[in-house]
Structure 1
Amino acid sequence: MKKVINYINGRPIRITLVMCCLALASCSKFLDETPKGSITPQSFYKTANDLQLAETALALQFNLAFNQVTAPYYAGDDIAAKRNGNKIDFSDFDVFNANSSNSRMTTWWNAFYGTIKSANSLLANYNNATEATADQKNNAGGYAYFMRAISYFYLTRTWGEVPMPVDNSINDNRPNAKVADLYNLIVGDLQKAETMLPDHWTGPAKQNGVDVLPTKGSAKALLANVYLTMAGWPLKQADKYSLAAAKAKEVIDNKATWGYTLLTNFPDLWKFSNRFNTEAVYACYFNKTTPNATWGNGNMMAPNPYAPDYEEGGWEDGFGEISFFNRFPAGPRKDATYQKDYFVKNDPANVVDWQHTLQKHPYFLKYREDDQFNWSNHKAGDWWSSATSFVIRYSEVLLTYAEAQAMSAGPDANAYLAINQVRQRAGLTPLPEGLSQTDFRNAVVAERGWEFAGEFGIRWFDLVRTETVQQANSLRDAGEVALINHPSDAGHTYYWAPIPFVK
């Protein structure tokens, strides 16, 4: 465990970086004090198996971020929380009242810095694996670059200027890096990753015909999203639109190489039996039945967090915002995103709609199904699951291309084709022809909101980069908890979360 002291506005902030255990099977023995030898970088990074164990540890570390509800993104207009009990930390972001002690935020921060620590260790040592092949070493290094890049991408979009360790040396006075420097590292890491990662993995890194670790295609898709974000606030580098379009087009034109497809039916994405599917460009996969399972093996996003408490015994960590729900176009996508019928006390004979639930909000349906969920009475069989958490879906690649192409070259036929594929699946008509550049961009951003409602900050990040946080919250329904503070699109207040204080 390592602590880095960082100073924000003259106040010391401690950041705890946690390294997960290298082998899952060893976790149950983690507290065994009987000395049986020592694993060091010099003795460990030797074989292909060592690299595979390090890759597994890195995956588990990143999974810690994506197995739980995360507070900072409640500032978006797609999700809200009740303002009582242990949901206050979620609600504080929803009403723009969060501070550095928000515990629901701190777990997200620690998970990413833990991933970065693990990635830095692998990057410093993967070339030392003399008993591994050149490809095995190259793939391990590419994976570490990808994971470090995506972790910093989440960190800077959420908190802005943050510490940027690129090694595991101890520095108690590490300064915050500028946003531009963070993006330079992210882009550089992803450019390395897209050359070093394989088109496909073998062995345990491939399950049910799907790559569970990122591939070259994953790196290109993430890089396209990074460029799109750099074109917006705070960097506002408009030249990055053309780079985003070109990189997304690489993924679209070569989707057969990596096996990416847009699933025909949106609801199929959320079926537990379909948790390995070809729309996943990169996802977090879980298996809670693994012997000696750790937090990284189980997913707490399903089935309880977004389920109603009084009616169906859920945790009520969050629900859909009313105004956003009302603007959401009707069709199969909306039906699969939000729950329609609620069984009071899990009684299928006592059905109410969302307006008659205790909280009077629509709840998200896409996270409900797991291996033990009972659809006959809406009762959960367990508190955590092996459900997949999507990080990048192929539909996002299409929408990234549509927006970036329109902003760099105008809304041409290819841009329309990309967004209309997503709209068609959602049961919507094609966008009208002849939209202006701005109107087309706004239509794509709205489409992204419907497509990814409630999914790990995607909506919130879109509002921030397009400088529309205040505008979106001006549509807030009277049925929501009133805002305590008010964001400003002109001054960008409340655009970044407060740096957490971690003891």
Structure 2
Amino acid sequence: MKLKFNYILLAGVISLGGLAVSCNSDLLDVQPTDRISDDAIASDSSLFEDFVINRYMGVRLMDKEAEGTPPGFGRGFEYAMWASLTDEAIYNNDDNTWLVQRGQLAPENTGIAGTLWSRSYRSIRECNYALSIIGDVIMTEQRRARLTAELKFIRAYRYHDLVRNYGAVVLMGDNVYDLDNDLTDAALFVRSSVADGIQYITTELTQAAGDLPAANDSNWKLGRATKGAALALKSRILLYAASPLYNAGTWQAAADAAKEVMSLGYSLHSDYRNLFLTSSSSEIIFERLYSVGARHVCLEISNGPNGYGGWAGNSPLQNLVDAYEVKVNATTAVPFDWTNPTHVQNPYVNRDPRFYASILYNGASYRGRQIETFLPGGQDSKDGRDNWNASKTGYYLLKFLDDKLPIDNPWDVAGVQPWIYLRYAEVLLNYAEAQNEAAGPDATVYDAINKIRTRAGMPNLPVGLTQATMRDAIRRERQVELAFEEHRFYDVRRWKIAIDTENEPAYGVNITKNGSTLTFEKKVALDGRKFEEKHYWLPIPRAEILSSGNKLEQNPSY
């Protein structure tokens, strides 16, 4: 379904991708026959609800975005994922990611990070438009309240994306700006404080939670916002608010918000690997769904090993691999240590099971044989087939990939996995972090973390941790539990440790085979990795600054 809208292009605050503006000329005032008019949307409750549902998607604004269906929130299942802007992965064929890794981000050159501002404000304007007419659409008051809450959730999600990427942003309220407004008014481009942005988002989500249904069911389809989704997003943004980069909230408020979600009855899925291949689970709080014929990027070919015809895509870094602990026995796990000869001799033995569920490594069983990234002669190394698609790191992504779907000729068959935006394990991690910062490592902190570790097949955390050592444990837990799910980029920034983690080299591994003996050595997989203080926030694209008549303030040092 195509929906007609009279959009405008107005700086960053309501930048709508340069879509056409309606004209007053009688000659051009012709009703299109290939789209539904504004009047039809306002006069038909079913069309109006379809319009609301479509707001979960955005517009394609750059090359190689959103193959098949339009993009949703964040990067999701794109060719280059957000993970490839972090110490989790590098994108094998660049696709405008290496400039971010190398600290070359600029207002004139934002790489794959350049569409968040305009897509978010376009969606906000669309939500504001719907909210402005919903009172005139004939429907029951219960349905009106639910759809209003749904629009508030979507709008809040877009603002959450803006705040966590740019910091201070322009708050539009319920205004729907068009060319009849005074677009030279400088007040239109004033960025509110981070604290005001957080307050606006949390207020919207609190209101939305009150009128959204408790769960998806036959009357409220899978993939739409629920009370749990609103409260889980509130938990996330309040955790960010309390963090050092934001300094705009309290840890206690963040802990309380997470605890409210924990009372709703969600639970952890029993199988970590399977969780990301199923659309229905007690752990999933909010997700993006796909179906055959309306596919997203086919993950198996875009990320799979070159020995199978895959393109290596988002190749995991040794930096992440090293974060997965080594299990000594049923009660003890220790960090992987490159100075420990036992670890280096057999680096993939007795690792955290989430490693085996997330990353393909040399010797891993996959589709009927073992992965071979060793040299010389490994089938999945640069000595194998299609050597231009060999991983530069020595690893391949496994998380999200479905072995039952084809790598060769996957079009219109593969690409049907859900993308999970919010899940219960994140809420438990939110609670553990916030509660530890607010009150120290009490029993509830241990309980939240140990539930996640137990599901993964890992020993409980050792007793007697201090607040500082528990903080380190929680951060490691987030790194491995939420790997590749668009969290690491924001976590290292909000903790203000990106100046360290993102200035580490992008490591891979060289594996040399000599007879039956393998030797392992860290290598630099992508040179020139760099992070500066200004990179804690993204730059607002230069085009947005210019279209405001330079009234919109740029982030510092760009």
Question: What TM-score do the two structures reach when normalised by structure 1?
Answer: 0.81
**8 A Cα contact 1:71 1:89, kept in partner:** no
Task: Give distance in 1, aligned partners of 2:142 and 2:17.
Answer: 30
Cα 1:161–1:218 shift into 2, 3 Å = same
Partner of 1:120: 128
What is the one-letter code of the residue matched to 1:396?
E
Q: CA deviation at 1:157?
A: 1.1
Within the alignment, does 1:264 sit opposite 2:270 as a pair? yes
What is the one-letter code of the residue matched to 2:446?
Y
Partner of 1:195: 210
Within the alignment, does 1:279 sit opposite 2:283 as a pair? yes
Partner of 1:333: 354
Unaligned runs of 5+ in 1: 7-12, 21-32, 290-296
What is the one-letter code of the residue matched to 2:467?
Q
Q: CA deviation at 1:468?
A: 0.6
Task: Give distance in 1, aligned partners of 2:155 and 2:137.
Answer: 20
Match of 1:151 among 148, 154, 158: 158
Task: Give distance in 1, aligned partners of 2:118 and 2:77.
Answer: 13
Give the greater-gyration-radius structure (CA). Answer: 2
Cα 1:36–1:424 shift into 2, 3 Å = same
Q: CA deviation at 1:41?
A: 4.5
SS of corresponding position for 1:382: coil
Cα 1:347–1:230 shift into 2, 3 Å = closer
Q: CA deviation at 1:2?
A: 2.2
Cα 1:497–1:311 shift into 2, 3 Å = farther
Task: Give distance in 2, aligned partners of 1:320 and 1:181.
Answer: 37
Partner of 1:241: 251
SS of corresponding position for 1:63: coil
Q: Alignment identity in percent?
A: 22
Partner of 1:168: 176
Task: Give distance in 1, aligned partners of 2:424 and 2:148.
Answer: 24
Match of 2:435 among 396, 405, 413: 405
Match of 2:394 among 361, 365, 370: 361
Cα 1:36–1:421 shift into 2, 3 Å = same
Cα 1:175–1:110 shift into 2, 3 Å = closer
Q: CA deviation at 1:183?
A: 1.6
**8 A Cα contact 1:76 1:469, kept in partner:** no
Q: CA deviation at 1:205?
A: 3.5
Cα 1:18–1:189 shift into 2, 3 Å = farther
Task: Give distance in 2, aligned partners of 1:493 and 1:186.
Answer: 24
Match of 2:416 among 380, 386, 390: 386
Cα 1:213–1:369 shift into 2, 3 Å = same
Within the alignment, does 1:177 sit opposite 2:185 as a pair? no
For this pair of structures, how many residues does the alignment match? 452
Partner of 1:294: none
Within the alignment, does 1:216 sit opposite 2:227 as a pair? yes
Task: Give distance in 1, aligned partners of 2:535 and 2:125.
Answer: 28
Task: Give distance in 2, aligned partners of 1:182 and 1:319.
Answer: 35
**1:376-433 Cα shifts (integer Å, max 9, x gaps):** xx54622762211110111001111111111112211111101111111122111111
Cα 1:138–1:439 shift into 2, 3 Å = same
Question: What TM-score do the two structures reach when normalised by structure 2?
Answer: 0.73
Q: CA deviation at 1:475?
A: 4.3
**8 A Cα contact 2:360 2:371, kept in partner:** no
Q: CA deviation at 1:175?
A: 1.6
Partner of 1:68: 78
Match of 1:429 among 459, 468, 471: 459
Q: CA deviation at 1:200?
A: 2.7
Q: CA deviation at 1:338?
A: 0.6
Cα 1:235–1:245 shift into 2, 3 Å = same
Partner of 1:111: 119
SS of corresponding position for 1:430: coil
Q: CA deviation at 1:88?
A: 4.8
Cα 1:14–1:45 shift into 2, 3 Å = closer
Task: Give distance in 1, aligned partners of 2:198 and 2:319.
Answer: 34
Cα 1:286–1:141 shift into 2, 3 Å = same
What is the one-letter code of the residue matched to 2:159?
Y
**8 A Cα contact 1:249 1:401, kept in partner:** yes
Task: Give distance in 2, aligned partners of 1:75 and 1:151.
Answer: 20
**8 A Cα contact 1:161 1:176, kept in partner:** no
Task: Give distance in 2, aligned partners of 1:104 and 1:280.
Answer: 27
What is the one-letter code of the residue matched to 2:164?
R
SS of corresponding position for 2:299: coil
Task: Give distance in 1, aligned partners of 2:152 and 2:134.
Answer: 11
Task: Give distance in 1, aligned partners of 2:216 and 2:11.
Answer: 38
Within the alignment, does 1:485 sit opposite 2:530 as a pair? yes
SS of corresponding position for 1:282: strand
**8 A Cα contact 2:14 2:118, kept in partner:** no
> Aligned-residue CA RMSD in angstroms?
3.1
**8 A Cα contact 1:281 1:394, kept in partner:** yes
**8 A Cα contact 1:75 1:95, kept in partner:** no
Match of 1:58 among 50, 55, 58: 55
**1:126-185 Cα shifts (integer Å, max 9, x gaps):** 22223x111111111111111111111112212223443343203466425232232222
Cα 1:117–1:316 shift into 2, 3 Å = farther
**8 A Cα contact 2:441 2:470, kept in partner:** yes
Task: Give distance in 2, aligned partners of 1:262 and 1:498.
Answer: 37
**8 A Cα contact 1:333 1:426, kept in partner:** yes
Partner of 1:373: 405
Task: Give distance in 2, aligned partners of 1:37 and 1:313.
Answer: 40
Judge which range, 157-166 or 274-283, deviates more.
157-166
Unaligned runs of 5+ in 2: 1-6, 21-29, 59-70, 326-350, 383-391, 508-522, 545-558
**8 A Cα contact 2:41 2:47, kept in partner:** yes
What is the one-letter code of the residue matched to 1:194?
A
**1:84-112 Cα shifts (integer Å, max 9, x gaps):** x5x15111112222233335223444433
Cα 1:38–1:386 shift into 2, 3 Å = closer
SS of corresponding position for 1:480: strand
SS of corresponding position for 1:319: strand
Higher helix share: 1
Partner of 2:488: 459
Task: Give distance in 1, aligned partners of 2:220 and 2:451.
Answer: 30
Q: CA deviation at 1:17?
A: 4.5
Partner of 2:332: none
Partner of 2:302: 305
**1:250-292 Cα shifts (integer Å, max 9, x gaps):** 111221xxxx220111011133xx2332211111111242xxx
**8 A Cα contact 1:343 1:350, kept in partner:** yes
